[in-house]
Each structure stands twice: as structure tokens, then as C-alpha cells.
Amino acid sequence: MRGVVLCGGKGTRLLPFTKVTNKHLALVYDKPMIYYPIQTLTEAGIKDIMIITGKEHAGDFIELLGDGSNFNANFTYRVQDEAGGIADALSLCEDFANKEKIAVILGDNIFIDNFSGIFNKFEKDDSVRGNPLKAMVFVKQVEDPQRFGIVELDEDLKVVSIEEKPVEPKSNYAQTGLYLYDEMVFRLIKTLKPSDRGELEITDLNNLYLDGKGLEAQIIGGEWFDTGTFNSLARAGLHIKTINK
């Protein structure tokens, strides 16, 4: 399995800091933000990782991270020329994926859990041979579900629906920024149409897997931080400081 870290977006919620640099380079306690999603992948056994950035600060990422040897990994870089959505950014790594399953993580998401067992099972599981689709979303209960893509689960924890920032949420399980996809993902992305925002949405991609009965949900037990705001940055830093002690 190969890994992809998505570091696009303009980070407008972190202005004025993001006026001069990319938000994924912001310090979260004692490490740059992007170190944490990289760590999530490497701790799960993934060594080949592609980092996708916007063109404005691509050189900063290369200078900071290098070839990946300091992380016991191999890094490849790709530039997303224009902001076209998460699914659009993911489409850039088709050749890199080399027909392997992939783990995709957003560069501003910090997870405390170790997912090595789940990743390994997903990579090796061929139990759905009769179903050509297989994907997994990682979900976490939140207090403000209107802010997130919300995953509705039935009593057996099977995915029923996914809605992006619903006015009346059907659950409080938020879709976090961690996804596992099979080799069919790039074929499905090519069928997507831009949303009202003019972007290819990750929720639309996941709904294609849901329609094909190939989408699973994994509930996260540990803490999860979407560090795209100053408040969440502060909370994440304090939590990491505490567990480091």
C-alpha cells in the first residue's frame, strides 16, 4: 500500500500566517503540522509516500522534508496547479499509486491512534472479490456535526449515507481526513463532476463507493484534530504536549 498526503488549500482560516507560508508548515507543539500525518502513515508501515502541494510553497516542503530518509520513507512530490478539490488532488497520483491500494490523509489532520492493523487488513483483504469496489472512511463522533461531512451508520455500523455539512445531521459521526481506497479509485474520480464550488469533492467519491456497496467505516477511538483553525491548533498542541509528558 502506498500513501498520499494532501497539502493543498489556501488556509484562509489561518490568516495572516498563511499569507507568507503554507498552513501545513505551522508548528503544532514541537513539530511542523505535516510531520503528524506522515507519522500516521509510516507508523502503519507505509514507506512510499507522495506529498501533493500547491505551487506557491512547494519548495518549502522539499527543503523541510527532503527525500524522506529522515522519516525512513521515500517521498515523491507533485504540485496541484489550481485548487480543484481533494478528489482532484488525489487524481494526480495515479501513476505513483502503481495499481496498489492507497492510504490518503489530509495534511492538517492529526491522529493519535496507530492504524497499522487496520491498514494491513485492508491491504490484504480480498474477501470482496465479487464486489469490484472497496474503500474505508475513518469517523469520529463530534459535538458540532454541521461543520463536517457526516456519515450515517446503521445498528451494525454499516454506512447508510454521507452528507457534506448537513443542516440537520443524521448522526454525529464526522468523516475525518483519512481514507483507504482500492485500485478503482482513479477510474471513479474520472466520472466525478464539479460541485457548486467548482471542485471535485471527496464526499462525492465516497458516495460512489457507497452506491457500489464497497464503503466501510472505521470508528476512531483516540483523539483527532482538524488543525485548520487557530483554536484547533492550540487544542492539538496542548494535547500533544500532555501525552509527550
pLDDT at 10 over 80: no
If you search the block for the grid coordinates 451508520, which residue do you land on? Answer: 153
Question: What does the pLDDT look like over 149-201, one tens digit per residue?
Answer: 899 999 888 999 998 888 888 999 999 999 999 999 999 999 999 888 878 88
- Rounded distance between C-alpha atoms, residue 211 and residue 221, angstroms: 27
- In this predicted structure, the answer to whether residue 146 has a pLDDT above a threshold of 60 is yes
* pLDDT tens, residue by residue, 60-103: 999 999 999 999 999 999 998 777 788 888 989 999 999 999 99
For 209-235, write each residue's pLDDT tens digit: 999 989 999 999 999 998 888 888 899
Q: What is the pLDDT of residues 46-66, one digit of tens each?
A: 999 999 998 888 899 999 999
What integer pLDDT is reported at residue 81 of this predicted model?
Answer: 78
Q: What angle do CA 175, 181, 186 make, to 5 degrees?
A: 115
Nearest to 185 by CA among 122, 108, 120, 228: 122
Length of the chain: 245
SS3 assignment, position 216: strand
Full set of structural domains in the chain with CATH: 2-244 (3.90.550.10)
Q: Would strands 135-141 and 215-219 be described as parallel, antiparallel, or unpaired?
A: parallel
Residue 24 neighbours by CB under 8 Å, 6+ apart: 7, 32, 33, 34, 53, 61, 107, 108
Strands 48-54 and 74-80: parallel
pLDDT at 109 exceeding the cut of 70: yes
